[in-house]
Amino acid sequence: METLHLLSQGMIHIIADGYLTMLVIGLIVGMAVSVMPGLGIVMGIVLALPFTYSMAVEPSIIMLTAIYMSGTYAGCFTAILYRIPGEPNDIPMLWDGYNMSRNGQTAEALGWALISAFIGGIVSTAFMVGLAIPLGKLALQFSTADYFAAVFLGLTSVVSLAGASIVNAFIGLFIGLLISTVGVDSIYGSERFTFDSPILVNGIPYITVLVGMYGFGEVLTRIGRKPINFSKVGEPIRTNTAFPSLKQIWDIRETLLRSTVLGTLLGIVPGAGATVTSFIAYGIEKQYSKRRDLLGSGLPEGIVAPQIGSTASVAGHMVPLLTLGIPGSGATAIILAAFLLHGVQPGPLLLSTAQSKLTVYTIFASMFMAVVGMCLLSFLWIRVVVRVLSIPPAVLAAVVIMFSLLGTYANRNSISDMMLIVVFGALGYAFEKFKFPISPLVLGVVLGPLAESSFMQTMISHDNDFTAFFNGPIRGTFMALSLAALLFPVVRNSLSRRKSSMSQTVSD
pLDDT in tens, 273-303: 676 677 778 777 777 777 767 766 778 888 8
Q: Is 51 helix (H, G, I), strand (E, B) or coil?
A: helix
Confidence of residue 238 (pLDDT cuts 50, 70, 90): very low
Q: Is 494 helix (H, G, I), strand (E, B) or coil?
A: helix
Confidence of residue 382 (pLDDT cuts 50, 70, 90): low
User: Is the pLDDT higher at 224 or at 63?
Assistant: 63
Q: How many whole angstroms separate alpha carbon 377 and alpha carbon 382?
A: 9
Q: Would you say residue 63 has pLDDT above 90?
A: yes
The percentage of the chain sitting over the pLDDT mark of 70, rounded to a whole number, equals 82
pLDDT the model gives residue 237 = 44
Confidence of residue 66 (pLDDT cuts 50, 70, 90): very high
pLDDT the model gives residue 233 = 45
**Is the pTM higher than 0.85?**
no
Check: CB of residue 356 under 8 Å from CB of residue 350: yes
pLDDT in tens, 148-169: 887 787 777 666 555 557 788 8
Check: CB of residue 385 under 8 Å from CB of residue 35: yes
The percentage of the chain sitting over the pLDDT mark of 90, rounded to a whole number, equals 6
pLDDT the model gives residue 236 = 45
Confidence of residue 368 (pLDDT cuts 50, 70, 90): very high
Q: How many whole angstroms separate alpha carbon 401 and alpha carbon 90?
A: 27
Q: Rounded mean pLDDT of 81-95?
A: 73
User: Is the pLDDT higher at 229 or at 482?
Assistant: 482
Question: Which of 30-34, 306-310, 327-331, 451-455 has the least mean pLDDT?
Answer: 327-331
Q: What separation in angstroms does the CA of 308 have from each of 101, 133, 196, 264? A: 19, 25, 52, 9
pLDDT in tens, 337-354: 888 888 888 877 777 777
User: Is the pLDDT higher at 231 or at 383?
Assistant: 383
pLDDT the model gives residue 503 = 62
pLDDT the model gives residue 370 = 92
User: Is the pLDDT higher at 251 or at 488?
Assistant: 251
Torsion angles phi and psi, residue 239, rounded to 5: -120, 20
pLDDT the model gives residue 306 = 85
3-state secondary structure 311-368: HHHHHHHHHHHHHHCCCCCHHHHHHHHHHHHCCCCCCHHHHCCHHHHHHHHHHHHHHH
pLDDT the model gives residue 386 = 56
What does pLDDT average to over the chain?
A: 78
Q: Is 184 helix (H, G, I), strand (E, B) or coil?
A: strand
Q: Would you say residue 235 has pLDDT above 60?
A: no
Q: Is 142 helix (H, G, I), strand (E, B) or coil?
A: coil
Torsion angles phi and psi, residue 413, rounded to 5: 50, 45
Confidence of residue 231 (pLDDT cuts 50, 70, 90): very low
Cα-Cα end-to-end distance for the chain: 66
Q: Rounded mean pLDDT of 256-268?
A: 79
Confidence of residue 230 (pLDDT cuts 50, 70, 90): very low
Q: Would you say residue 400 has pLDDT above 60?
A: yes
Q: Would you give the DSSP letter of residue 243? A: P
pLDDT the model gives residue 226 = 57
pLDDT in tens, 135-147: 766 666 778 888 7
